[in-house]
Amino acid sequence: MTQTIDLSGKIALVTGSSRGLGRHYALHLARAGADVIIHDINRSAAAEFGEAVSGEAVADEIRALGRRSAFLTADLTDAAQVEAFFAAAVDAFGAVDIVVNNAGGDIGARTPRPDPNDAIDIHVDDIKAVLERNLLSVMYMGKFAGAHMRERQTGKIINVGSGAGHVPTSVGIIYASAKAGISHYTLCLSEELRPHGVNVNCIAPAATYTGRFLATRTVTGQEGLSRLQKIAEPDDMAKIVMFLAGSGSDYLTGETIICR
């Protein structure tokens, strides 16, 4: 029997959702009945890789599905901005039931990706930029969203790591290490929030077609590969996020689903 995911009456917040995988997560949540708060670092970020006109345009897509939405901006590497952003979301919608900590990326301080992108020759400011964007931002959101959900004694936090954090690599070492850290943080935060009925889980996506992915990487031929060998489509990852957001995962916490 197929179980339909019904998120009617739920309020979801997806970071980095004006583009890329975040936008797909947001649209799937809305189609399941959730009102969705769209976020990005600024209003122009959505257009960087041609994936959407603007963050507000993505919020309009959500509203067209009959759901409430709003577009809010914040730099998630700044704890004060995260606190104000989350408070604004709660003020606007009354509560937040689901948080998808999606924002991140192997992005340098000055370049689309750190260059060099190893452990030794990488620039120090790139180390800082990658860790702040991928690990500290998740911890800041976990602090403020976790406190809100602890008070309400309910909620779901879905952290987004990466399959890169679970295999050895010689490229993107800082990024991979930050994503591996998210998995352990997920495990620890889940134990802190377990007595309060709050689920904390993580998805570690495989390489997936997005605008940024195509702009920063060269894709080799996919002919002759099985669907489990090919680069993933956004819907492949969104379906897993939906499982973690829905009632089917109500007794699952502290886990990382690794896609590889």
CB burial string 27-48: b at 16+ within 10 A, e below: bbbbbbbbbbbbbbbeeebbbb
Choose the weakest-confidence range: 156-160, 164-168, 218-222. Answer: 218-222
pLDDT at residue 2 in the model:
54
pLDDT at residue 214 in the model:
63
Residue that wins the pLDDT comparison between 231 and 64: 64
> In the numeric block, which tokens belong to residue 161?
């790591």
pLDDT at residue 1 in the model:
43
| CA distances to 26, 158, 189 from 253, in Å | 21, 10, 10
Residue range 140-162: average pLDDT? 98
pLDDT at 47 over 90: no
Mean pLDDT across the chain: 94
pLDDT at residue 7 in the model:
98
pLDDT at 177 over 90: yes
% the chain with pLDDT above 70? 96
CB 66 within 8 A of CB 32: no
pLDDT tens digits, 214-231: 666 677 778 888 988 888
**DSSP per-residue string spanning the chain:** -PPPP--TT-EEEETT-SSHHHHHHHHHHHHTT-EEEEEESSTTGGGTTTS-S-HHHHHHHHHHTT--EEEEE--TTSHHHHHHHHHHHHHHHS---EEEE----S--SSSSS-SS-SSSSS-HHHHHHHHIIIIIHHHHHHHHHHHHHHHHT-EEEEEE--GGGGS--SSSHHHHHHHHHHHHHHHHHHHHHGGGTEEEEEEE--SB--HHHHHHSPPPP-TT--TTTSPBPHHHHHHHHHHHHSGGGTT--S-EEE--
pLDDT band at 172 (very low <50, low <70, confident <90, very high): very high
pLDDT at residue 218 in the model:
73
pLDDT at residue 208 in the model:
82
pLDDT at residue 217 in the model:
67
At 14, the amino acid letter reads V
pLDDT at residue 51 in the model:
76
Residue range 1-27: average pLDDT? 92
Query: Topology of 11-258 in CATH?
Result: Rossmann fold (3.40.50)
Choose the weakest-confidence range: 43-47, 85-89, 115-119. Answer: 43-47
pLDDT at residue 251 in the model:
98
- Please give the positions annotated as active site: 175
Residue range 38-52: average pLDDT? 86
CA distance 50 to 11: 27
Domain layout of the chain by residue ranges: 11-258
Residue range 108-117: average pLDDT? 95
Choose the weakest-confidence range: 20-34, 127-141, 165-179, 225-239. Answer: 225-239
